A and B are shown apart, each in its own frame.
Chain A
């Protein structure tokens, strides 16, 4: 369990967390990026300002 950096609510995390993965906060809907896994640390995911490949 760790806290959402946007709203402070607890975010439940699954087991095989991967750095770079994006997690949605179920409380506020913010997109959070996993920046560390041990211990899990989340940050607000940056917006992608240009279009994606596919």
Chain B
């Protein structure tokens, strides 16, 4: 198959994908998104003859628009524009999870400092303030007190981009020092790991320790539902345990968010699963299905 890899930076994840695809003798075209011109009428030359485009754009807006163009050109794209649209925005993400009846932390949004302050006071301390568009735990704040809340809201209102004037407040989940990241293809878990840290942010990018994790039935089912809720594809689903019983087993889960331009190198290192291989298997199956339709 001919795969177009749409990128602006080649990270370890993209290198792993490129290596795997080339090893299997697939034709890979690297497409630097910064050099493309997207016409509303016809696809850019670089897209000529590709069976599938793999969107690996880091920047959310690029990803959102590029996926829409690909769909307009009838070029299969992973992930879909719908999925990108929902996953790129924490508000849409939360609404989709809630609508699907998936346990997700209580969340409220406000557009002014005063209204945000009311949410924070009603949630109590600690609670979490997140940017609606964001990643790697950046610009997320755990708010421990009223004075901290006032300072952070003031900063956001004064210094923030307009998107930071959407105040997304979420209840704080007393997780047992770790959260769970699952990589899934159309809802099927490929691998899962826990990220543990003394810090409240347990992102791998923040230097959390990672370890493989065995998903139980409930977690597996939640991953499938969460994937469906955002339109499926190659996704990273973030869950947290809501508590652990005396045996150290999870009492329940809550799904925080679903990521669409998912990084998997940490998972590849943390588990015995050949994550890259499985991702490419799935891609091949996608293209196969497309051809037979």
Residues on A close to B: CB < 8 A? 16, 18-22, 33-34, 45, 48, 50-54
Contact = CB atoms under 8 A, between A and B. Distances in A.
A51 B205 CA distance: 14
Given A50-B59, A52-B60, A54-B261, A18 B135 contact: no
Contacts of B14: 18, 20
Contact of B135 (A19, A21, A45, A54): A54
**Which label, helix, strand, loop or mixed, suits the secondary structure of the A interface?**
loop
Contacts, number: 66
Interface in B32-69: 32, 57-61, 63
A53 B62 CA distance: 10
A19 B30 contact: yes
Interface stretch (B4-12, B102-110, B120-128, B168-176): B4-12
B259 A54 contact: yes
Interface of B: 7-11, 14-15, 18-19, 30, 32, 57-61, 63, 87-88, 131, 133-136, 138, 236, 259-263
A53 B15 contact: no
B15 A51 contact: no
A6 B32 CA distance: 23
Contacts of A18: 10, 14-15, 18, 30
Contact of B60 (A16, A20, A33, A50): A50
Contact of A22 (B10, B134, B136, B259): B10
Nearest to A18: B10
B135 A52 contact: yes
